[in-house]
Amino acid sequence: MLRFFLKRLLFMVPILIGITIITFAIAEFSSTDPAEASIRVNGMLPTAELIEATRQEFGLDKPFLTRYADWLSGALHGDLGLSYVTRLPVTNSILEALPATLFLALTALLIIISVSLAAGTLSARAENSKTDWFIRGFIFFTSSMPGFWAALILIWIFSVQLNVFPTNGMRSTSSVVLPAVTLSLAYIGTYMRLIRSEMIKTAHEDWVLFARGRGLSEKSITWHMIKNSLHASLTALGMSIPKLIAGAFIIETIFAWPGIGRLCVEAVFNRDLPIIQAYVLLMATLFVFFNLVSDLLVTFLDPRQRDNEKGSL
């Protein structure tokens, strides 16, 4: 496991370097002068002298490689520069908004795991029955709805009509229910299908027949079937965590959730490139990190994977 971890870690280094180059180059491909955009957002007239002073303030008058080296050095020390709009450190803005997004993503993840596991197991145990068809049809119907439409429907039903949950903000614990459910709908169908297909495949393996022949209870057999069926879902689940965080910006905007997704949307409208660069860098790093975590978890849980890695090493 240690050699496998070190091997994957070495592969991450060039990937992360490439991510930083692409992330920083975003500003170079922008058709808008960041200095002029910063002046206009703050309600000032962009004169030539003011534009030049602003470019010097943010270091935009330096060569690209110099600015990239300074930015990379600062990023390694936790300094992602200053916002062009607020003049506040970008790192502080990200850290203030990140807990809300993590809370939303983790709540949605719990909903995804519990619902897809229960629905997939029940559907597999009742294969090709009316119960199976109903569960699959209902889950796939809700998963196919666009996120913004599902959000509006949930708001109309549970906030406007029933007045059960608040419609916006992070005012109480119940405020997370509607955005978390909306965020989870797009993923439940995928994992429910994976768990169902793997459990049906596992049900026909010899060890299941042997367990039944020994007289083990169906509850115990089902539990072991679930454990053996989760391997295929772990990699996809590991990649879904950064997807939940990165894809929450639409949900955060609709529900006025004070997370980094909403912060990034505001930065896009204001042409606040340091915020956008920090967001892209954070999301890309999370994708790489959770891909490594999912690979390690699958290798740890499946002895066959460890044997394959030993052979390749």
Q: Where are the domains of the chain?
A: 2-76, 102-312
Which pLDDT tens digit goes with each residue over 90-105?
A: 899 899 988 888 899 8
Of the pLDDT bands very low, low, confident and very high (cuts 50, 70, 90), residue 301 is low
pLDDT for residue 54 is more than 70: yes
Per-residue confidence (pLDDT) for residue 307, from 0 to 100: 54
Q: Average pLDDT for residues 221-239, to the nearest whole number?
A: 70
Per-residue confidence (pLDDT) for residue 310, from 0 to 100: 52
Of the pLDDT bands very low, low, confident and very high (cuts 50, 70, 90), residue 303 is low
Of the pLDDT bands very low, low, confident and very high (cuts 50, 70, 90), residue 44 is confident
**What's the distance, Cα to Cα, between the start and end of the chain in Å?**
11
Which pLDDT tens digit goes with each residue over 103-141?
A: 998 899 899 888 888 888 888 878 788 888 888 888 888
pLDDT for residue 311 is more than 70: no
Range in 184-193, 207-216, 293-302 with the lowest mean pLDDT: 293-302
Provide the CATH topology of domain 102-312: MetI-like fold (1.10.3720)
